[in-house]
Chain A
Amino acid sequence: MPPKTSIYAVRTTIGQEKGVTDLITTAVVGETDVWECPHCKEHFSTKKDTLTHMKKCKEGKGGEPKLVSQNQLLGRVKAILVPETLRGYVFIETQEFRDVEIAISGVPHVRGRVGGKVTLKEIDTFLVPKPAAEGISIDDVVEIISGPFKGERAKVSRVDGAKEELILELLDSPYTIPVRVHADFAKLVEKAEPAKTEEKSEEEGEEGEEEDEELLDDDSFWARD
């Protein structure tokens, strides 16, 4: 039976996704319940500890431990996800929407929440990431987004799918040596002209459409709010 939870998206300042996650984590696990001995008013974090104390409390006998305050989030917030491929968003899995409101209240760098639930299909695109090199093929143009060639554009001369690596030829560069780059560090800029790979053009077309992602669907949570 699938868990009865929902997943909500929260917008954060770009670059603060992990900090927000840490603060929400602290809000969930950092605060204990507070129980009080009715006689000496001493505080304990569980009812059991309070009862143990009350058996030998010098101020009085009998009565019941008093619940002073209760952690409202423990057991209700289940998970927090930072996909990182999507900057400025954190996903929170909770029992209900109200838990999200409590969890993010007072947390700096939270810029708002996205109305509505995130569908399981949408969250799956982050949980089961596509291999980095998928959708990139020979002769495509990519931009290198990290490392010594950051910002350079290059043409793909080979795709090493197993290692998720691309062998690139830098454009606008005097160097003709091939550059080996992890596919995570390359962003697709331009698909190769279908004419160059005529026998495979149909397949290429399908792959190209996939690049748009379902993220642009009208019923996607990106379209709401």
Chain B
Amino acid sequence: MAKMKACRNCHYLTNENQCPNCKSTNLSTSYTGIVVILPGRDPLEDPRKTSYIASRLNIDKPGKYALKVR
């Protein structure tokens, strides 16, 4: 599997050429670390309210993200 690309704007990881999360096309293959924010039982719940890691990184939607993007 090809390495996923990370959005330089929101850090979301994707195989597409556009970030499905924020629609940015500014993607990078150079990143380190991964953070997965898992959905709650209510899929619309803001993860920042229930997860320390999501609140610290200011991630407002569940998904797979890069920790550090260059």
Q: Find chain B residues with CB under 8 A from A25 CB.
A: 36, 38, 64
**Contact between chains at B37 and A78 (CB < 8 Å):** yes
Q: Which of B38, B41, B52 contacts A120 (CB 8 A)?
A: B52
Question: How long is the Cα–Cα vector from A182 to B67 in the complex, in angstroms?
Answer: 17
Chain A 61-88 interface 0/1 with B at a Cβ cutoff of 8 Å (1 = within): 0000000000000110111111111000
**Contact between chains at A75 and B52 (CB < 8 Å):** no
Q: Does B24 interact with chain A (Cβ within 8 Å)?
A: no
Q: Find chain A residues with CB under 8 A from B51 CB.
A: 3, 5, 78-79, 93
Instruction: Summarize A's interface: helix, strand, loop or mixed.
Output: mixed
Interface hits, A123-181 → B, CB 8 Å:
123-124, 126-129, 164
Interface residues on B, range: 20 to 34
Chain B 32-49 interface 0/1 with A at a Cβ cutoff of 8 Å (1 = within): 111111111100000101
Q: Which of B32, B33, B36 contacts A79 (CB 8 A)?
A: B36
The chain B residue with its CB closest to the CB of A75 is B41
Chain B 57-70 interface 0/1 with A at a Cβ cutoff of 8 Å (1 = within): 10000001001101
**Contact between chains at A126 and B67 (CB < 8 Å):** yes
Q: Which of B35, B39, B70 contacts A81 (CB 8 A)?
A: B35
Q: Which of A28, A84, A124 contacts B67 (CB 8 A)?
A: A84
Q: Find chain B residues with CB under 8 A from A7 CB.
A: 52-53
Give the A interface residue count (CB, 8 A).
Answer: 31
Q: Does B27 interact with chain A (Cβ within 8 Å)?
A: no
**Contact between chains at B40 and A79 (CB < 8 Å):** no
Question: How long is the Cα–Cα vector from A79 to B33 in the complex, in angstroms?
Answer: 13
**Contact between chains at A79 and B54 (CB < 8 Å):** yes
Q: Find chain B residues with CB under 8 A from A29 CB.
A: 38-39
Q: Find chain A residues with CB under 8 A from B40 CB.
A: 74-75
**Contact between chains at B50 and A129 (CB < 8 Å):** no
- Between B37, B41, B50, B57, the greatest number of chain A beta carbons within 10 A of the residue's beta carbon is seen for B50
The chain A residue with its CB closest to the CB of B48 is A3
Question: How long is the Cα–Cα vector from A5 to B50 in the complex, in angstroms?
Answer: 8
Q: Does A184 interact with chain B (Cβ within 8 Å)?
A: yes
User: 8 closest pairs, A vs B, by CB?
Assistant: A78-B51, A75-B41, A79-B53, A80-B36, A82-B34, A84-B33, A84-B32, A75-B40
A-B contact pairs, 13 of them (CB 8 A): A3-B55, A29-B39, A74-B38, A78-B50, A79-B36, A80-B38, A81-B33, A81-B67, A84-B67, A93-B51, A120-B52, A128-B56, A184-B32
Extra inter-chain contacts (18) besides given A78-B51, A93-B53, CB under 8 Å:
A2-B52, A3-B49, A3-B55, A5-B52, A21-B34, A21-B36, A25-B38, A29-B39, A78-B37, A79-B47, A79-B53, A79-B54, A81-B33, A81-B36, A82-B35, A82-B67, A83-B33, A129-B67
